Structure 1
Amino acid sequence: MKTMTKLVFTLLGLLYTTLSSAQVWVPDQGDGTFKNPIIYADYSDPDVIRVGTDYYMVASSFTCQPGIPVLHSKDLVNWTLINHVYQALPLERYKEPQHGQGAWAPSIRFHNGTYYVYFCTPEDGLFMASTKDPRKKWEVTFVKPVKGWEDPCPFWDEDGQAYLLRGKVGAGPAILHKMSTDGKTLLDEGTTIYEDKAKQPSLEGFKFLDKREGYYYFSAPAGGVPTGWQAVFRAKTIYGPYEERIVLRQGKTPINGPHQGGLVSTQTGEWWFIHFQDKGSYGRIVHLQPASWKDGWPVMGVDVDGDGTGEPVLTYKKPNVGKTYPIAVPQTSDEFSSTTLGLQWQWQAAPNKAWYTLTGKKGAIRLTAVSVPTDSGSFAVAGNLLLQKFMAPTFSATTKLELHADEAGERAGLAVVNGSFICLEKGKANNRIVIYQQRRKGWDKLYPPVEAASLKTDAQVVWFRVRVNENGTCVYTYSLDGDRYQELGSNYKAERGTWIGSKVGIFCINPTSRASKGFADFDYFRVDK
Structure 2
Amino acid sequence: MGKRIVLCSLCVAMFSTVGFAQGSKGKKVKNAPVFSQVVYQGDDKVYNENPLKAGEFYNPILQGCYPDPAITRKGDDYFLVCSSFAMFPGVPIFHSKDLVNWTQIGHVLDRTSQLKVQDTGISAGVYAPAIKYNPNNDTFYMITTQFAGGFGNIIVKTKDPFKGWSDPIKLKFDGIDPSIFFDDNGKAYVVHNDAPNKGEELYNGHRVIKIWEYDVENDQVISGTDQIIVNGGVDLSKKPIWIEAPHIYKKGGRYYLMCAEGGTGDWHSEVIFVSDSPKGPYIPAPSNPILSQRYLNHNRKNMIDWAGHADLVEGPDGKYYGVFLAIRPNEKGRVNIGRETFILPVDWSGEFPVFENGLIPMEPKLKTPKGVENKTGKDGYFPNGNFTFTENFTSPQLDYRWIGLRGPREEFITVLKDGGLQITPFPVNIKEVKPTSTLFHRQQHSNFSFTTTLKYIPKSEKDLAGITCVQSERFNYVFGVTKKDKDFYLVLERTERGRSKVLASTKIDVKNPIQLQVKGEGDNYDFSYSTDGTNFLQLGNTVSGDILSTNVAGGFTGCLIGLYATSENDILVE
Contact 2:91 2:109 in 1 (8 A): yes
CA distance in 1, matches of 2:180, 2:489: 54
Task: String of CA shifts for 1:133-152, please: whole Å, max 9, x gaps.
Answer: 22221113222266x52111
The within-5 A match list for 1:418-437 is 418=471, 419-437=476-494
Within-5 A mapping of 1:359-378: 359=416, 361-372=417-428, 378=431
3-state SS of 2:79 partner: strand
1:422-447 CA deviation, whole Å, 9 max, x = no partner?
Answer: 101122212101111111x2xxxx33
Give the aligned partner of residue 402 of structure 1: 455
TM-score, structure 2 normalization:
0.77
Structure 1 residue runs of 4 or more that deviate by more than 4 Å after TM superposition: 21-28, 379-382
Structure number with greater CO (CA < 8 Å, separation at least 6) is: 2
Please state if 1:291 is matched with 2:346: yes
SS in 2 for 1:135: helix
Shift of 1:470: 2.0
Contact 1:357–1:365 (Cα < 8 Å) also in 2: yes
Q: 1:22 to 1:354 in 2, by over 3 A?
A: closer
Superposed, 1:460-499 pairs within 5 Å as 460=511, 461-471=513-523, 473-492=524-543, 493=545, 494-496=548-550, 498-499=555-556
Aligned residues: 474
- Deviation per CA, 1:171-212: give whole Å up to 9, x if none: 721111111124721112421111134454210111222x11
Match of 1:413 among 456, 462, 466: 466
Code of the aligned partner of 2:129: P
Which of 163, 166, 174 is the equivalent residue of 2:209? Answer: 174
Tell me the alpha carbon deviations over residues 10-60 of structure 1, each in whole angstroms, 9 at most, x when there is no partner. Answer: xxxxxxxxxxx9765779824212332222211110111233223221000
Whether the 8 Å contact between 1:301 and 1:311 is mirrored in structure 2 is no
Give 1:392 deviation, angstroms. 1.4
Show the counterpart of 1:201: 241
2:520–2:526: 8 Å Cα contact kept in structure 1? yes
Quote the RMSD (CA, aligned, Å): 2.6
Aligned partner (choices 119, 124, 142) of residue 117 of structure 1: 142
State yes or no: 1:135 paired with 2:167: no
Partner of 2:408: 351
Q: Deviations over 1:248-287 (max 9, x none)?
A: 1214363322111211111221111111113422110222
Q: Contact conserved, 1:408 with 1:426, CA < 8 A, in 2?
A: yes
Q: Which residue of 2 aligns with 1:153?
A: 179
Map Cα deviations across residues 379-402 of structure 1 (whole Å, 9 max, x no partner): 554522211211112110000011
- Aligned-partner residue type, residue 255 of structure 1: I
Q: Which runs of 5+ in 2 are unaligned?
A: 1-39, 196-204, 330-334, 384-388
The code of the aligned residue for 1:153 comes to S
Question: Where do 5+ consecutive residues of structure 1 fail to align?
Answer: 1-20, 304-309, 514-529
SS of equivalent to 2:505: strand
- 8 Å CA contact retained: 2:407, 2:435: no
CA contact (8 A) 2:426 2:436 kept: no
Equivalent in 503, 506, 511 of residue 455 of structure 1: 506
Where does 1:269-308 land on structure 2 (aligned, <5 Å)? Answer: 269-278=318-327, 279=329, 280-302=335-357
- Tell me: CA distance 1:457–1:349, structure 2 relative to 1, closer, same or farther (3 Å): same
Moved more, 164-173 or 114-123: 164-173
- 1 CA distance for matches of 2:527 and 2:443? 16
Equivalent residue number for residue 217 of structure 1? 256
How far, CA to CA, are the matches of 1:339 and 1:232 in structure 2? 47
User: 1:91 and 1:324, CA in 2 relative to 1: closer, same or farther beyond 3 A?
Assistant: closer
Aligned equivalents of 1:391, 1:137: Cα separation in 2: 27
- Of stretches 315-324 and 154-163 in structure 1, the one that deviates more from structure 2 is 315-324
Q: Determine the structure 2 residue equivalent to 1:518.
A: none
Q: Contact (CA 8 Å) 1:96, 1:383: kept in 2 or not?
A: no
Deviations 1:394-422 (A, max 9, x none): 11000001114333331100111133121
**Amino acid of the structure 2 residue aligned with 1:115:** F
Partner deviation per Cα, 1:347-386 (whole Å, 9 max, x = no partner): 1112164412113x5321110121027xxx6255452221
1:450 is displaced (CA, Å) by: 2.1
Choose 474-483 or 192-201, whichever is displaced more. 192-201
Letter in 2 for 1:275: F
**Is 1:44 aligned with 2:67?**
yes
Distance 1:326 1:372 in 2: 41
- Give the 3-state SS of the residue equivalent to 2:229 in structure 1: strand
State how far apart, in whole Å, the 1-side matches of 2:542 and 2:187 are. Answer: 57
- In structure 1, distance between residues paired with 2:428 and 2:306: 38
2:57–2:100 Cα contact (<8 Å) kept: yes
Structure 2 Cα separation of the partners of residues 281 and 363 of structure 1: 32
Secondary structure at the aligned position of 1:77 is classed as: coil
TM normalised by structure 1 equals: 0.83
Counterparts of 1:512 and 1:480, CA distance in 2: 23
Change (3 A) 1:140 1:261: farther
Partner of 2:201: none
Q: Does the 8 A contact of 1:289 with 1:313 survive in 2?
A: no
Task: Say whether 1:249 aligns with 2:284.
Answer: no
- Give me the whole-angstrom Cα distance separating, in 1, the residues matched to 2:158 and 2:142: 9
Contact 2:376 2:382 in 1 (8 A): no
- SS in structure 2 at match of 1:98: coil
| 1: CA distance, partners of 2:192 / 2:217 | 18
Aligned to 2:9: none
| 1:84, distance to aligned residue in structure 2 (A) | 0.1
